[in-house]
């Protein structure tokens, strides 16, 4: 199964970029051993100008166009469900075992995701009630994907 982080905006070199690159590389290494064929990041341009709803709509269109056919969509949204690391790992394993070809995690830009993107998602997840910068959410998600891979493979990284 492929795991895709589809995000608005481009990471520039810096701490967020380094964290995302490191955790995605680790997740790829562990994931291949347990049926996750790809772990990747797709970035689309942040929309500029116009009003918030117009920017969100355009960014949602760009995210939609970037996703592979048949991907199950999970939206990252502050109003989503909070999952612990073990439950997150169990969700990934369940989707893998059901034969889902790809999971796409959607991360909106500075203005968030449009309602249409949230409506297409089969699940919305949150990292808690606080609002986090969208660039930091990528690093947090990449780490949780890696942590899930280690939980599923029995690697000692997760010590809960």
Per-residue pLDDT tens digits for 58-75: 998 999 889 998 899 999
Is the model's pLDDT at 112 over the cut of 90? no
One-character DSSP codes across 111-131 = TB--HHHHHH-SEEEES-SS-
* DSSP E strands, the chain: 2-8, 38-44, 72-82, 102-107, 123-126
How confident is the model over 134-147, as a mean pLDDT?
93
Nearest to 139 by CA among 62, 27, 1: 27
pLDDT tens column, 13-30: 888 899 999 999 999 999
∠ CA 64-69-71, nearest 5°, is 80
Q: Could you say which architecture CATH assigns to the domain 2-153?
A: 3-Layer(aba) Sandwich (3.40)
Q: Can you give the pLDDT at residue 7? A: 94
pTM (two decimals): 0.93
Number of neighbouring beta carbons within 10 Å of residue 160: 7
Residues in the chain: 160
How confident is the model over 35-48, as a mean pLDDT?
91
Rounded to 5 degrees, φ, ψ at 12 are: -100, 165
Biggest CA–CA distance in the chain, Å, is: 49
């Amino acid at each position: 199964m492929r795991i895709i982080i589809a995000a608005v905006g481009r990471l520039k070199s810096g701490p967020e970029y380094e964290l995302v690159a490191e955790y995605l590389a680790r997740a790829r290494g562990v994931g291949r051993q347990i049926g996750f064929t790809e772990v990747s990041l797709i970035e689309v341009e942040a929309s500029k100008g116009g009003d918030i709803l117009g920017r969100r709509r355009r960014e949602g269109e760009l995210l939609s166009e970037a996703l592979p056919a048949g991907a199950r969509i999970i939206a990252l949204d502050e109003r989503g469900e909070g999952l612990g690391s073990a439950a997150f790992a169990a969700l990934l394993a369940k989707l893998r075992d059901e034969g889902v070809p790809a999971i796409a995690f959607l991360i909106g830009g500075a203005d968030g995701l449009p309602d249409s993107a949230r409506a297409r998602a089969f699940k919305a997840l949150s990292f808690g009630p606080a609002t986090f910068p969208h660039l930091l959410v990528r690093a947090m998600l990449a780490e949780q994907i890696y942590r899930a891979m280690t939980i599923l493979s029995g690697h000692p990284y997760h010590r809960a």
